[in-house]
Amino acid sequence: MTQAPNFKQELYPGARVLIRAFEDIPEHIFEVSEVYDDCIGGYSLTGPLTGEYGEPDFEMILRIID
């Protein structure tokens, strides 16, 4: 298993990231509001979870959009 990139140092409130698909939820854009030790907090901007708050683990981040 490959290790996920370490995005923590590059994340900040307002950053947008692409979250990988999980269960029946497709990849989606997520806006960071907080950066925690083991995850990020924020809101989904696209997909079926639009407007929902979540705290995905860093391993779920595919890339930083901006």
What integer best gives the mean pLDDT of the chain? 91
Helix, strand, coil abundance in the chain, percent, nearest 5: 10, 40, 50
Tokens standing for 17? Answer: 């990231």
Name beta bridge partners: 57: 39
Residue 10 dihedral angles phi and psi, to the nearest 5°: -95, -5
N- to C-terminal Cα separation, the chain: 27
How many CB atoms are located within 10 Å of the residue 40 CB?
25
How many CB atoms are located within 10 Å of the residue 19 CB?
24
Q: What is the pTM of this model?
A: 0.87
6 pLDDT higher than 80: no
Q: What is the pLDDT of residue 30?
A: 98
